[in-house]
Amino acid sequence: MPDSPAPTWPEPVDSDVDLHDPAQRGELRRAPRAVLAAVSAGGALGALARYAATVARPHDAGGFPWATFAVNVSGCLLIGVLMVLVTEVWTAHELVRPFLGTGVLGGYTTFSTYTVDVQRLVTAGSAGTALLYLAGTLAAALVAVSAGLGLTRAAARRPRVGVR
Amino acid sequence: MTVVLVALGAAVGAPLRYLVDRAVQAGHDSVFPWGTFVVNVVGSLMLGVLAGGSAAHGVPGSATALLGTGFCGALTTYSTFGYETVRLLEERAGLYALLNVVAGVAAGLGAASLGVAVASAIWG
């Protein structure tokens, strides 16, 4: 199973960087400064958007962390859309995935705030909210990635009227 | 000021995730996304220490913005974690997908709790 010769879809398994893809394996050697600068700049922008969301919708000690929930789920939807676009639809510039995927969406979404918020909710005595947040984020995130992938693939395959 | 610290931390955290992911993948060929697993667990541990330290008034708000919201936030990722899980399912590697979710969440929560415990040992 692990190294099946014919994958079902052309997208890589790791959206940040997947060394199974020869182009991605060589990108850091070809343009080290440009790739790292793109990831860095994208990461800063994504993190600022996440910070803005948490400032706009703060939550108290035992409350459901809505802002981080919304950030992580929307980021998952967008990574699904992006990976189909850069793999199947466009012949994307080499820096588009590092900037938008690894950088912006990677910096926008966060796993550490998710785990620490679950831990805090448990400590604050809101075990029920902690469990709901834990499972709810996970379920919504996986549905969002699937929807992003599925809808974008469907849109990309739709016959274009009048275009030859 | 906080905005600048968040951006600076993330500007280092995001490329570090990229480099760690590459290094881990280069170390051994596996379908299981170990690179993302590593950054998410390390970032959870570090944010746990910062959050615990902040609650005990041992870590200033500027450090939390730079190292927590910025660096740890960008070092870790939910989009890649979710994407990998769905892609593993699509490629009929359901066991790896399940393992990614269970091990990722369990190790991340364990690391966050350990971080908070370390912080209370230091600043408690």
pLDDT of A47 over the 70 cut: yes
CA A75 to chain centre: 5
pLDDT of A1 over the 70 cut: no
Residues of B in contact with A79 (CB under 8 A): 79-80, 82-83
Contacts of residue B97, defined as CB under 8 A and 6 or more positions apart, other chains included, come to B85, B86, B88, B89
The dihedral of CA B5, A96, B34, A72: what is its sign?
Answer: positive
- The answer to whether A143 contacts chain B (CB < 8 Å) is no
What's the average model confidence in pLDDT over A103-120?
98
- The answer to whether B52 contacts chain A (CB < 8 Å) is no
- Work out the minimum CA distance from B112 to partner chain A, whole angstroms: 5
**What average pLDDT is seen over chain A?**
93
Residues of A in contact with B59 (CB under 8 A): none
Note the pLDDT of residue A164: 45
Per-residue pLDDT of chain B (124 residues; tens, 9 = 90+): 999 999 999 999 999 999 999 999 999 888 899 999 999 999 999 999 999 999 999 999 999 999 999 999 999 999 999 999 999 999 999 999 999 999 999 999 999 999 999 999 999 8
- Label residue A160 exposed, middle or buried (CB < 10 Å: 0-12, 13-18, 19+): exposed
Range B96-123 burial, b when 16+ CB lie within 10 A, else e: bbeebbeebbebbbbbbbbbbebbeeee
Note the pLDDT of residue A161: 59
Q: What is the C-alpha to C-alpha distance for residues A29 and A24, in angstroms, rounded to an integer?
A: 10
Q: What are the angstrom distances between the C-alpha of A83 and each of A3, A13, A91, A100, B26?
A: 21, 10, 12, 10, 22
Note the pLDDT of residue B50: 98
Q: Which amino acid is at B107?
A: A
What's the average model confidence in pLDDT over A44-59?
97
- Work out the minimum CA distance from B48 to partner chain A, whole angstroms: 6
Does the distance separating the beta carbons of A79 and B79 come in below 8 Å?
Answer: yes
Q: What is the C-alpha to C-alpha distance for residues B78 and B53, in angstroms, rounded to an integer?
A: 24
- The answer to whether B18 contacts chain A (CB < 8 Å) is yes
Q: What is the C-alpha to C-alpha distance for residues A51 and B6, in angstroms, rounded to an integer?
A: 8
Note the pLDDT of residue B122: 95
Q: What is the largest CA-CA distance in chain B?
A: 48
Q: Measuring CA to CA, which residue among B63, B74, B77 is closest to residue B119?
A: B63
Over residues A116-134, the pLDDT tens digits come to: 999 999 999 999 999 999 9
pLDDT of A24 over the 50 cut: yes
User: How sure is the predictor about A68, in pLDDT bands with cuts at 50, 70 and 90?
Assistant: very high
Q: Count other C-beta atoms under 10 Å from residue A82's C-beta.
A: 23
- The answer to whether B88 contacts chain A (CB < 8 Å) is yes
Determine if the pTM surpasses 0.90: yes
- Work out the minimum CA distance from A30 to partner chain B, whole angstroms: 15
User: How sure is the predictor about A90, in pLDDT bands with cuts at 50, 70 and 90?
Assistant: confident
Range A100-127 burial, b when 16+ CB lie within 10 A, else e: bbbbbbbbbbbbbbbbbbbbbbbbeebe
Interface contacts A/B by beta carbons within 8 Å = 226
Spell out where B6-103 has E strands.
Answer: none
Q: Measuring CA to CA, which residue among A108, A158, A153 is closest to residue A11?
A: A153
- Of all residues in chain A, the percent with pLDDT exceeding 90 is 85
Interface test with A, best of B46, B49, B78, B88 (most A CBs within 10 A): B78
